[in-house]
Amino acid sequence: MIPQGNARDWQTRLRLWAAMAIGLNQLVVMAYYSLGLVSGEAMEAFRNALGLYWSLGPVFNAALLLHMSLGLWKLFRRNTLRMPTWEAAQIALGLLLPFLLVPYNLAGIFVSTVFQIPQSYVDTLLLSFPDMAWRYIAMTVIIGAHAQIGVHAVLRLRPWYPRARLIIVAVTTLLPLAAALGYWNGGSQLYQAYLAGTLAADDAPHLLSAAQKAVLDQANLVDYLVFVGLYALLFAGRALRLRLDRKNKTVRIEYPGAHVMVLPATTVLEASRIGGIPHASICGGRGRCTTCRVRVEQGMENLSAVGEREHKALQRIGAGTDIRLACQAEGRTGTIRVTPLLRPDTASSAARRETRNSVGRDVELAVMFADLRGFTALSESKFPYDVVYILNSYFQAMGQVIEAHGGQVDKFLGDGILAYFGLDGDPRDACLSAMRAASQMAANLVGVSRELISVLPQGLALGIGLHFGDVVLGEVGFHDKKQVTIIGDTVNTASRLEALNKKTGSQMVVSTGVVARAGLDLTHLPVAHVTLRGKTDEMRVYVIQDILTDVRALNETKPL
């Protein structure tokens, strides 16, 4: 049985650790070759400065072998080759690399251990120049592109990634470019000097003899044959496995109006892809965004157990016991009936393009939920025209305040408002702006109530919940009903904090984290310990009865 579930987790981790080791080594090697743009002496000084580092070659070769093996194994065990373009490009570049990288590493091993040739910068450059120069340059460019896609795929949902992205792209683009140019520059200069016989006596290269070259050529040929054979075996073996397994497709995943027969240990998301069933998966199946979540209508016992990663994600959104993440839940046997809870866009090809928001990203934001107290009952006694007029007056006044404080209205929900702060700022600004906006909203509500006195003599009452944390910002919806929105535990928490106002008769409930990040002193208010619906841990909050009385000081309070 092909290992799945948690085995996938550790294999992925191992592959990433190996990739990091290879990446680190490539940074050093590329920095070394980049110095060819400066001078041969600079290369030599760099080589000498790193001293024993170069003896770590076998460790990095082992990491390379591990990374390649796990990558090929992952490819073999895939039940479908349907994948996003970026992933296909990364795999294609990775498959190309052994034809360039392995001969290069083999040459290094043969030269230093079998032929016992010393490795000065002259040797490093002239041993492969000019015959194998194309190989090093192509290899460098491909490594850079492969790494860039990989780093983006792994880190793109990290909150800090948008800030670090430019640096990462610059390093993975400019360093390989500099290494290729440095290699070419240093190599061609030395080669010309060597041909002209003007190389200093100290720089005399230890060139390979014809016999040694023949050995290397043979090693390269073996490498090509090994990898061509390996790939042929891999794809043929995979095709055979899928063919033989056809009769073993004993798991039936049912969707509303469709079903897919799959092999045991196929995830529900893979089943959706195999069956061409549209399925939201903003994080690309990494168990982070929860947009692939499904309600399991039948056959929960036929799914794999909830793993650690899935458990954390489900806990974050306070999911019920009938909810699973499609990208993590594997069908084991029998029939499983699921209903995807978020609808992806299936028709608009334009919407399939991976924009920053359609892919989704993790960001840290201050999230505000605001709701009109008792408005449902109140609206029942009003003409619809009056309800619309009151709501629009209220939304306009509150929306203006939110935007004036750098926030964004995510959506209006009935008489509620979901807004967030801090998309372009730091956490402190986000929280301070949200607190100030809340205070101003309370003040403006008095003015709105006064204006509406003819249709609403009793005035409007407001409840606000405020929390700070990670959210996923992404495009969600269907056809032209798509919109950028925030989802995640922080949003749920803000909503539940807002709902607490009903119980406590307060005007705002704000987590202590928001106040602390804003650098505000609200020590004149007691800290309450509350357990929110769907949570087990206690949370520390300030319950503010009257924003204009208790937090008016906010507008005069100087940040600490």
Please give the C-alpha separations between residue 510 and each of 233, 525, 559, in angstroms, as whole numbers.
60, 12, 17
| Strand-pair category, 508-511 with 462-476 | parallel
What tokens were used for 10? Answer: 């550790």
Q: How far is the CB of 12 from ligand FES (least distance, A)?
A: 14
Q: How far is the CB of 313 from ligand FES (least distance, A)?
A: 6
CA dist., res. 106 & res. 108, Å (int): 5
Closer Cβ to ligand FES, 16 or 455, answer by number: 16
Q: How far is the CB of 392 from ligand FES (least distance, A)?
A: 37
Closer Cβ to ligand FES, 124 or 267, answer by number: 267
Residue 327 touching ligand FES (CB under 6 A): yes
Question: Residues 289, 156: contact at Cβ < 8 Å?
Answer: no
Closer Cβ to ligand FES, 281 or 440, answer by number: 281
CA dist., res. 243 & res. 263, Å (int): 11
CA dist., res. 26 & res. 398, Å (int): 53
Residue 466 touching ligand FES (CB under 6 A): no
Q: How far is the CB of 109 from ligand FES (least distance, A)?
A: 41
Q: How far is the CB of 260 from ligand FES (least distance, A)?
A: 17
Closer Cβ to ligand FES, 9 or 521, answer by number: 9
Hey, how many other C-beta atoms are within 10 angstroms of the C-beta on 512? 14
Residue 471 touching ligand FES (CB under 6 A): no
Residue 260: HSE in the Cβ half-sphere, 13 Å Cα cutoff: 21
CA dist., res. 151 & res. 156, Å (int): 8
Total number of residues shown for the chain? 560
Q: How far is the CB of 287 from ligand FES (least distance, A)?
A: 5
Residue 340 touching ligand FES (CB under 6 A): no
- Centroid of chain to Cα 495: 25
Closer Cβ to ligand FES, 180 or 283, answer by number: 283
Instruction: Using alpha carbons, select from 122, 130, 228, 139 the residue that is nearest to residue 179.
Output: 139
Instruction: Using alpha carbons, select from 420, 384, 394, 397 the residue that is nearest to residue 514.
Output: 420
Closer Cβ to ligand FES, 288 or 337, answer by number: 288
Closer Cβ to ligand FES, 287 or 406, answer by number: 287
Question: Residues 529, 493: contact at Cβ < 8 Å?
Answer: no
Q: List the interface residues with ligand FES, window 265-324 (CB under 6 A).
A: 281-283, 285-292
Question: Residues 359, 452: contact at Cβ < 8 Å?
Answer: no
Q: How far is the CB of 289 from ligand FES (least distance, A)?
A: 4
Q: How far is the CB of 82 from ligand FES (least distance, A)?
A: 15
Closer Cβ to ligand FES, 283 or 402, answer by number: 283
Residues of this chain that bind ligand FES (CB under 6 A) = 281-283, 285-292, 325, 327
